[in-house]
Chains A and B, each alone.
Chain A
Amino acid sequence: MKAIAKANARGFSLVELLLALLIGCSLSGLLLQAVLAELTSGQRFARVLRERAVARRTLELVRGDLLQARGLADPAALAPACNLAGRSVVLHLDTASGPITYSLGKPAEPIWRGQVLMRCGPAYGLHGELGSGAAQNRVVLDALAASAGFRAQPAGAGVLQLELAQAWADGGRLSSRLPVAIGAN
């Protein structure tokens, strides 16, 4: 009896302590991993929401340009107002303020990811109207898929379907579309 009491008073052995430490560390590691995964998932969800809103606004911007245009134009007949640096023309519009060209291709600056959609055309005024100054060539949206990142194709009589496809390095994807009634244009 005395011997047991003495053994208890000695505390934990080294093996017991190491085992407890191992279990504690494993549990903490698992918990940390779960928290990090949750955080990453939350950040990814927030980014998808943010990018979805930007994609929607991009389509609305193209729609606004389409509605202000006299019609679709042929780049061979009406030259774009900017140097497109090898990017391919995906939508070319004839407007009263000059041509507006949307092109898809590699970005000129390293901050943009994937393919970029660029708009070459007159700047906007304080109320969103097309200005009369020199054409500006600006990145509208990045992270577009290499193929079919932006498409504007007929979808029935007088309707043009605008489609965006984005892809990120971590595997995230986003598709957005907006039909535009171009009427007599």
Chain B
Amino acid sequence: MRRFEQSQASSGFSLAELLVAVAVLGLLTSLAIDGGQRSLARMRVEAASRRLGVGLEAARRQAQSHGQPCALELGASGWSEPSGGSLAGCLAAVVASSEQQDSDAVTLQHNLPGALRFSSNGLILDGGTVVIAAPGTELRRCLVVSLPLGVSRLGRYTGPLDGPPSSSACLADGAL
């Protein structure tokens, strides 16, 4: 009996056992990588959504604290100073969202005007909807900005992939 156990213990694994173990490990690794990539893409979407909200609030505060109206433009990589118009840019928002997203990693679609204006007493004079998406995840966030207070709400976008965003396709998300 002892001899049998010893010979079993010293014989190691068979090729079939090793192949099964490698296959299982490979499957688990691929699942983990897939899950990780999806999770990373979701995090990119969430972070970009929050950065947009932070930028809005920073711009509003800047206009109010300086007593000067200012404006912002939403480009492919986030908030920037408006390219046209007579209003100065809200630099605070650009700085607050300076950790801009990689424009290849996150896509922004919106129906905001060319320049989003902030009044000198901290009101937002223009509003709209921004849809934030990233390759690798089905999650699409939407940010609805209402005027005049600039109350913004994040939700889950259910509208078509192409075409201008619509606030009626932006649903409140219980997880937020």
- Contact partner of A111 (CB less than 8 A), chosen from B117, B120, B121, B153, is B153
Please determine whether A140 and B170 come into contact, CB atoms closer than 8 angstroms.
no
Contacts A110-B168, A111-B142, A126-B125; is A138 near B119 (CB within 8 Å)?
A: no
Kindly supply a per-residue 1/0 record for chain A positions 136-153, scoring 1 wherever the CB is within 8 Å of any chain B CB and 0 otherwise: 101111100000000000
Residues of chain B lying within 8 A (CB to CB) of residue A124: 119, 123, 125, 148
B interface residues with partner A (beta carbon < 8 Å):
69, 87, 117, 119-123, 125, 127, 142, 144, 146-149, 151, 153, 155, 167-168, 170-172, 174
Q: Measured between alpha carbons, how far is A112 from B168 in the docked complex, in Å?
A: 10
Max count, chain A CB within 10 A of own CB: residue among B127, B153, B170, B171: B153
Q: Does any Cβ of B come within 8 Å of A87's Cβ?
A: no
Q: Does any Cβ of B come within 8 Å of A54's Cβ?
A: yes
Beta-carbon nearest neighbor of B70 in chain A: A126
Residues of chain A lying within 8 A (CB to CB) of residue B147: 123, 136, 138
Contacts A119-B148, A139-B146, A169-B174; is A127 near B153 (CB within 8 Å)?
A: no
Q: How large is the interface on A (under 10, 10 to 19, 20 to 34, 35 or more residues)?
A: 20 to 34
Beta-carbon nearest neighbor of A119 in chain B: B148
Q: Does any Cβ of B come within 8 Å of A113's Cβ?
A: yes
Q: Does any Cβ of B come within 8 Å of A109's Cβ?
A: yes
Please report which residues of chain A, range 19-58, place their CB below 8 angstroms from some CB of chain B when the two chains form the complex: 54, 57-58
Beta-carbon nearest neighbor of B157 in chain A: A111
Contacts A109-B170, A111-B170, A111-B171; is A139 near B151 (CB within 8 Å)?
A: yes
Please report which residues of chain A, range 81-134, place their CB below 8 angstroms from some CB of chain B when the two chains form the complex: 109-113, 119, 123-128
Max count, chain A CB within 10 A of own CB: residue among B125, B127, B151, B174: B151
- Contact partner of B146 (CB less than 8 A), chosen from A113, A125, A138, is A138
User: Can you show 24 pairs from A to B with CB atoms below 8 A apart?
Assistant: A54-B149, A58-B149, A109-B167, A110-B155, A110-B168, A111-B153, A111-B170, A111-B172, A113-B172, A123-B125, A126-B120, A127-B119, A127-B120, A127-B121, A128-B120, A128-B121, A128-B123, A138-B147, A138-B148, A139-B151, A140-B148, A140-B151, A141-B151, A142-B153
